Chain A
Amino acid sequence: MKEKFNNFNVRSFISANSVPILFIIICAVMIPLSGFSFSYLINEIMTRLGRNSFLILSLLIPIMAGMGLNFGMTLGAMAGQIALILVADWQIWGIPGLVLAAIISIPLSVLLGLLCGNILNRAKGREMITSYFISYFMNGVYQLVVLFMMGPIIPIVHNTLKLPRGYGIRNTVSLLQMRQSVDNALAVYVGGVKIPVLTLVLIALACLFIVWFRRTKLGQDMRAVGQDMNVARDAGINVDRTRIISIVISTVFAGFGMIIYLQNMGNFSTYSAHTNVGMFCIAALLVGGASVEKASIGNVFLGVILFHTMFVVAPSAGTKITGDSMIGEYFRVFVSYGVITVALVMYEAKKRKENRTLGRQLAIEQAAEEKGETA
């Protein structure tokens, strides 16, 4: 412990945690400017912690398997939405409706995860950009299913869900009868702050699953694959299969996460709710101090707290500073995309630096060998 303290280097600590530190400063400046009360902010953060954490946790396993940030989690979100549309049409309400939606989302998520994982295995080293475009491609398929197949092929009975033309789903799906049913079950109020106990229990279970999974044989294999695919292959690990499993688990988790997220919202935009999910989850994880190759459960919670505090206070602080709330809205969008870009650039720069160092080391070793031979 003492040795650890003695080895502590402020510069390296700041450089390793530059993004969270930057966001702590941003929040520290913006919170007083926003004028929000402490209890309001805590309430908002608690709501968002319950709403988003499960989704963000779904990103951890692909990072462990060395596949970077899984932009393909959008596929799981689509599966969750399709399941919710079906459950809403069957009029299954409350927690049973959400459980049924989660069960229905599993086979859809598994299928989409298998598809995504197989494609990513054909694009090794370019997983993030590939998964990003898979999500665009699948968005088209999702629209085809929801806009044209729901009604004539997939039975949808209720006119409240169907478009007036008789097929396809309306722009907004109401989840009024499921709204916050998980959040309100076992909820406790502490000093005016609502704590959604059941939602937090579900998130804790997901965390426990990840901790347990890391210690299993498959989890160890994933870490080995994440460190070096060639070494893992030589050690007898089926690299492709391991990578596919990591994407399937991530997609299934994303489906569950989207159901938890949407039950909190109480309705969703059928054609666009899933599109930004990947972006803001990845941004939150990166804000929490994760990188493309390393992320922990701690990063998830720190990220949700910092990113969403910024998200809550930015419009109000923007209004106070500039007199225009849209400035705050633009700011948070700019930060969300910006933090992803910076993380990707930093990752690439670090990789290049490592390669350069490795190259230099090799050159020195080679020169030493040649010197030895001539001598």
Chain B
Amino acid sequence: MKTSKRAWFVRIAAVVLLIVIGYIMSIIGRGHTLYLDNKALDYEGQHYDAPYKIGIYVNGEQLTKLYENERSSTTCLGQTFTVTLEIMETKNGTEVTETYKIPVPKDMDNVIINIPGYLAGLPQEAYIDEFVPAVTDDVDDEVPDTSDDGVAIGDI
């Protein structure tokens, strides 16, 4: 059976479409674990103080309140982290609320964002760092059980 030119065109177009959709998904679905720090920062000989308190709101819900030298974590899909910060510079001071769009590097899984550094308008390498979890020697899973006893099928 001979395949017509039109059929080949449709097939190639379908494959290209799937590749394009796959690529878009890999961009918009790239997940990051973000660690938000409210810590003082030294960069190029300059010192940047941490505010007294930062209220963090993600998707309209309060994630946490960070006091000086505290850290919180959240997750984010895609390369932009939209967050609303409620900043109080000094104790009993006035609160300033603003929404920020923080760019997140695609190649980093666990990202530490230093909020005082970001607010000071420093370059990305100053306020973003990669969090590398310590590798622990797990005792489980060394030899996976690939046999199937065929008795219980568990939950299906």
Contact = CB atoms under 8 A, between A and B. Distances in A.
Interface residues of A, number: 43
Given A94-B31, A96-B29, A241-B1, A164 B142 contact: yes
Interface string A99-125: 110011010000000000000000000
Contact of A165 (B21, B30, B142): B142
Contacts of A97: 25, 29, 31
Given A90-B26, A241-B1, A168 B144 contact: yes
B129 interface: no
Centre residue among B18, B30, B153 by max chain A CB count within 10 A: B153
Given A99-B21, A159-B135, A164-B137, A92 B31 contact: yes
Contacts of A163: 141-142, 144
B152 interface: yes
Interface residues of B, number: 29
A123 to B, nearest CB: 23
Contact of B18 (A103, A170, A276, A279): A103
Contacts of B156: 48, 52, 276, 280, 308, 311
A227 interface: no
B16 interface: no
B17 to A, nearest CB: 10
Nearest to A95: B29
A238 interface: yes
Given A92-B30, A106-B18, A159-B135, A170 B141 contact: yes
A78 to B, nearest CB: 13
A230 interface: no
Given A92-B25, A96-B77, A99-B25, A271 B145 contact: yes
A275 interface: yes
Given A91-B30, A177-B31, A276-B156, A100 B144 contact: no
A275 B148 contact: yes
A100 B138 CA distance: 30
Nearest to B32: A91
B131 to A, nearest CB: 14
Contacts of A280: 153, 156
Given A96-B26, A163-B141, A275-B148, 15 more contacts: A52-B156, A92-B29, A93-B31, A94-B31, A96-B24, A97-B25, A100-B22, A100-B29, A103-B21, A159-B135, A164-B137, A271-B145, A276-B156, A329-B152, A330-B151
Interface of A: 48, 52, 90-97, 99-100, 103-104, 106, 143, 147, 158-159, 163-165, 168-171, 177, 238, 241, 270-272, 275-276, 279-280, 308, 311, 329-330, 332-333, 336
Closest 8 CB pairs between A and B? A96-B29, A93-B31, A96-B25, A92-B29, A100-B25, A103-B22, A271-B146, A170-B141
Interface of B: 1, 18, 21-22, 24-26, 28-32, 75, 77, 109, 135, 137-138, 140-142, 144-146, 148, 151-153, 156
